[in-house]
Amino acid sequence: MKLASVPITLTQCAKTFRGTRVLEPLDLQIGAGETLVLLGPSGCGKTTTLRMIAGLETPDAGGRIAFGDEDVTALPIEKRQVGMVFQSYALFPNLTVRGNIGYGLKIKRVPAETARQRVDELLAMMRLTAHADKPIDQLSGGQRQRVALARALAVQPRVLLLDEPLTALDARLRDTLRSEMNTLLRELGITTVYVTHDQAEAMELGDRIVVMSAGRIEQIGSPREIYYRPANRTVAQFVGTINRLAGEQRDGMLTTAGGAVPLPSNRARASAAQEFFFRPEDAYLADPASAQLRGSIESTAFLGERTRLTIGGAAPDPLLVDVAGRVELARGTPVGISIERDALIALS
């Protein structure tokens, strides 16, 4: 199935509900065919942003939304050619799978033969052919999710909008569907805005991620940029786990409780900060005699493919260090830690 896709531009889109500003004016550009993920904690304004793009909410005066060259700010949802999938799916319980997928085509009075062909194609694409004539309540959660997606795609939208489509599913199924979703979005090549509070989903699906908090954009970037070069603490703490290393900067070293760590070679980034951050997987255990920092094991968490160590005494805060392999260390064991070169991040 080949879909037309269109770039989207939001210019100074703010939103106020009954006197309360829930979204600060935001600017956003989404490329044709791009998957943009809105990531942030509950209540930060993701759904509101998505609903403005859909045409279900109007931005405050002054805000503008364009699909390609077309200003759609005043265009109602039914004229925007968007497909939407909600967390709740909102399927019609009294219709069959086929009835649900074809619903929008019926409303649009698409000729019956064309509609049947398109529904058949979507049934095959979503591996639902064998379930075509079943009522919705006989389907599993994952199948319902695929029906909702097929229904959104049936009308050949130029934009696909997904609001936490996997959140209602259990963890195992969510993992499977996430990678299916990834394959599907690449195949379709449709401009997609995907809302989630789940960073793993954001990382896997997003060409770019918009990290939001409290009605504001904190950072826009590729998954790698967001993870390795977080713009500030809010982003660093929301995406992945990060350690804080506070101390005193002197002669290219940061001296802290358990030793000293060489600072990043990029001096401009290091500036005069007295505090740096690093990811648990960017540190490793080393011989205490030659390690950068010394501390002792406070606790260990076995996570299967890796073990997360909590190490006290090395820095003002306990440090988390991830190690691979069959490591077993008792509480109180003295350890040395070194940090990968240039893994330290300075954050405002």
DSSP 129: G
- At 152, the amino acid letter reads A
Q: Out of 1, 16, 17, 27, point to the residue binding ligand ADP (CB under 6 A).
A: 17
User: In this structure, what are the phi and psi dihedrals at residue 267, rounded to the nearest 5 degrees?
Assistant: -65, -35
Closest approach of ligand ADP to the CB of residue 186, in Å: 25
Q: Out of 5, 35, 47, 234, point to the residue binding Mg ion (CB under 5 A).
A: 47
Stretch that binds Mg ion, among 45-53, 177-185, 252-260, 272-280 (CB under 5 A): 45-53
CB atoms within 10 A of CB 263: 21
- Interface residues for ligand ADP in 318-337 (CB under 6 A)? none
Q: Which is nearer to ligand ADP, 38 or 105 (CB)?
A: 38
Q: What is the largest CA-CA distance in the chain?
A: 78
Based on the shown chain and the rule CB under 6 A, indicate whether residue 279 belongs to the binding site for ligand ADP: no
Q: Which is nearer to ligand ADP, 197 or 244 (CB)?
A: 197
Query: Which residue's beta carbon is nearest to the bound Mg ion?
Result: 47
Based on the shown chain and the rule CB under 6 A, indicate whether residue 199 belongs to the binding site for ligand ADP: no
Q: What is the CA 174 to chain-centroid distance, rounded?
A: 14
Q: Say how many CA atoms lie within 13 Å of 191 toward its Cβ.
A: 20
Q: Out of 48, 191, 256, 300, point to the residue binding ligand ADP (CB under 6 A).
A: 48
Based on the shown chain and the rule CB under 5 A, indicate whether residue 48 belongs to the binding site for Mg ion: no
CB 157, CB 3: distance < 8 Å: yes
Q: Which is nearer to ligand ADP, 43 or 252 (CB)?
A: 43
Alpha-carbon radius of gyration of the chain: 24
Q: Out of 3, 22, 95, 125, point to the residue binding ligand ADP (CB under 6 A).
A: 22
Binding site partner of 100, from Mg ion, ligand ADP, none, Cβ cut-off 5-8 A by kind = none
CB 220, CB 227: distance < 8 Å: no
Burial call 135-158: b when 16+ CB within 10 Å, e when fewer: ebeebeeebbbbbbbbbbbbbbbb
Based on the shown chain and the rule CB under 6 A, indicate whether residue 16 belongs to the binding site for ligand ADP: no
Based on the shown chain and the rule CB under 6 A, indicate whether residue 219 belongs to the binding site for ligand ADP: no
DSSP 231: S
Interaction site with ligand ADP (CB under 6 A): 17, 22, 40, 42-48
